[in-house]
Structure 1
């Protein structure tokens, strides 16, 4: 069996509608799972457009097809400067926000693959850690972070809610 080619690349303007479709699927899934995350009009198409314009938007492609969307932001998450707890490090970091999987690729371990690619991205930029937060009730993401060796660091306040914050040191 051929292994699909999986790549992480910067999102382009022409990706924005597929990205928005993926995020709408994710918003619907969070709601179906009974989560309050992403149920207040964020993220939205404007969020995607801003991510792409700022160079934050990234897509994980499988044989050229967009499977996963995320925003990767270097050293810039004001909410992370105040944590009820403690980060593992004080240096440069990559922030992971807005992870969404196309339902055609759901259940195939795509988010775990995404995090592997984010580690490579972080290493290649010579950055020492990855920081990420998620809702208390986003069980799938909590499980992934645990399986990928992220350390629970405490709580941050983001988008009007308390989020669980995690960090992984990349050497």
Structure 2
């Protein structure tokens, strides 16, 4: 039987589940030797802020939360200064803080998440998706490549330089 995946806004009741997923992701990055997310960010306050601002989204599988992401429209100050060049200067969705629930890890859930984000972007008439990741987050780099994102250059975020990617949706 095929599982049903849905993207929905996160609610405050989801906070502890999401925070648990982010903690798992922080630990996985550490195990992988990555420097990303190793300095106290993101934290539970980040999750609460995402939910309060309407940025928090969850991908559910048959109603169970599998992946978390913050989707932010047109607003990432760090992206105004890029060493390189974006593909477009229209409206965009920024994808931040992607975290997978451990039991769903390795099942292609982040690829499914990006499919849903592309549908979301298209349905809102938004031109592109922009995303950044650490140079040593190999899993995410592979996913972005497989989903047809273009490497645009580097951006400076609070905890260091990030590889920046964009995909034109409409």
TM-score, normalising length: structure 1: 0.99
Aligned to 1:56: 55
Describe how 1:6-155 pairs up with structure 2 within 5 A. 6-155=5-154
CA distance in 1, matches of 2:26, 2:86: 28
Offset of residue 160 of structure 1: 3.0
CA distance in 1, matches of 2:88, 2:18: 32
Structure 1 residue runs of 4+, over 6 Å off?
Answer: none
Aligned to 1:159: 158
3-state DSSP of counterpart to 1:153? strand
TM-score, normalising length: structure 2: 0.99
3-state DSSP of counterpart to 2:114? helix
Cα deviations by residue, 1:75-104 (Å, 9 ceiling, x for unpaired)? 000000000000000000000000000010
3-state DSSP of counterpart to 1:96? strand
Cα deviations by residue, 1:35-61 (Å, 9 ceiling, x for unpaired)? 000000000000000000000000000
Offset of residue 149 of structure 1: 0.1
CA distance in 1, matches of 2:75, 2:81: 13
Offset of residue 9 of structure 1: 0.2
CA distance in 2, matches of 1:25, 1:54: 24
Q: Where does structure 2 lack aligned partners over 5 or more consecutive residues?
A: none
CA distance in 2, matches of 1:160, 1:59: 24
